[in-house]
């Protein structure tokens, strides 16, 4: 199935959580001089016009990044992420939102490498256009689940892998687990960040527990619920990230920021967050 387009959801609460954490992960990798790879298995288009018909239809960014841009009391760790978004809107306002690929490109160094997979033909073409002059980026219009194994282990033995599928079909949940099992056999010391939607469906609720049972010793699980689940079970009420081999600093950073995100992005009394980790 190739019906999913992230342009309908760009800049929403899930993007805020995902991309804030992505900035934290990249900044941590940048503390060491040795180069690294970033592999994005479901890269999307890379950049989203918020005045485009897709984004305008639901205007989800108004309940996400727009609220952070309007805040006068951002916690310090959030400022780098918000400033990065502002770089894509140099005239002020909010007309563009950068996806994971452009956020990564903005923070990576000259010797680091970015590998992007995108199967949707329209988004893959846009992705190519957004990176046509960057020789450090390789784009593959193919299945990122299957293609990941070709880059593991990466030559520098340092890597961040972002796994962010649309979960259009139930099999995506199973494929995430199987993909990680294989990836960890090939490269057990890499950092892996898995995004998932909070839904009232069994597959979504069980995914974090299945990931905890992988052959791993260090993990962090963060979730942000922005609204009470609907009685009919329809729609996404939040999102989460499961991170394998996270930076040791990330738990404290999230602990400081999550109350602010919950208050700022919460849409009703059901807003809440979760934060748990295993360190050994």
Render pLDDT for 240-251 as a digit per residue (tens, 0 to 9). 999 999 999 999
Q: Angle of helix 100-107 relative to helix 121-130, nearest 10 degrees?
A: 20
- Is 164 catalytic? The answer is yes
pLDDT reported for residue 9: 86
pLDDT reported for residue 5: 57
pLDDT reported for residue 176: 98
Q: What is the mean pLDDT of the chain?
A: 93
Helix-then-strand count for the chain, H and E: 10, 10
Residue numbers in the chain where pLDDT is lower than 70: 1-6, 53-57
pLDDT reported for residue 235: 85
**Angle 92-100-164 from CA coordinates, rounded to 5°:** 140
- Which of 25, 44, 67 lies closest to 242, judged by CA? 25
pTM: 0.95
Parallel/antiparallel/unpaired status of strands 159-163 and 37-40: parallel
Write the pLDDT tens digit of every residue in 16-65. 999 999 999 999 999 999 999 999 999 999 999 998 765 566 789 999 99
Quote the CA–CA distance of 246 and 216 in Å, as a whole number: 11
Listed by start position, the domains of the chain span 8-278
- CATH for 8-278? 3.40.50.150
Catalytic residue among 112, 123, 164, 172: 164
pLDDT reported for residue 91: 86
- Percentage of residues of the chain with pLDDT beyond 70: 96
Helix (H, G, I), strand (E, B) or coil at 70: coil
pLDDT reported for residue 279: 94
Compute, in degrees rounded to 10, the torsion defined by CA atoms 207, 22, 15, 250.
70
pLDDT reported for residue 1: 47
pLDDT reported for residue 233: 74
Label residue 235 left, alpha or beta by phi (over 0 means left) and psi (-120 to 50 means alpha): left
């Amino acid at each position: 199935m190739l019906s999913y387009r992230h342009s309908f959801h760009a800049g929403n609460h899930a993007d805020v959580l995902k991309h804030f954490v992505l900035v934290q992960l990249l900044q941590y990798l940048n503390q060491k001089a040795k180069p690294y790879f970033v592999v994005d298995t479901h890269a999307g288009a890379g950049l989203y016009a918020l005045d485009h018909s897709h984004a305008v239809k639901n205007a989800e960014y108004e309940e996400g990044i727009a609220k952070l841009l309007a805040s006068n009391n951002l916690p310090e760790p959030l400022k780098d992420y918000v400033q990065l978004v502002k770089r894509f809107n140099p005239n002020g306002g909010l007309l563009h939102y950068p996806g994971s690929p452009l956020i990564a490109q903005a923070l990576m160094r000259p010797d680091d490498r970015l590998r992007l997979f995108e199967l949707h033909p329209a988004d893959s073409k846009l992705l190519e256009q957004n990176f046509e002059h960057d020789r450090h980026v390789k784009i593959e219009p193919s299945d990122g689940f299957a293609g990941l194994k070709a880059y593991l282990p990466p030559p520098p033995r340092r890597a961040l892998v972002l796994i962010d599928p649309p979960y259009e079909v139930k099999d995506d949940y199973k494929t995430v687990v199987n993909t990680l099992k294989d990836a960890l056999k090939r490269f057990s010391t890499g950092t892996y960040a898995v995004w998932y939607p909070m839904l009232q469906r069994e597959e979504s609720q069980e995914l974090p527990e299945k990931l905890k049972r992988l052959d791993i010793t260090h993990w962090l699980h963060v979730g942000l619920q922005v609204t009470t689940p609907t009685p009919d079970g329809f729609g996404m009420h939040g999102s989460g990230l499961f991170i394998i081999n996270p930076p040791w600093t990330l738990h404290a950073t999230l602990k400081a920021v999550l109350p602010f995100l919950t208050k700022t992005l919460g849409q009703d009394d059901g807003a809440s967050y979760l934060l748990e980790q295993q360190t050994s």
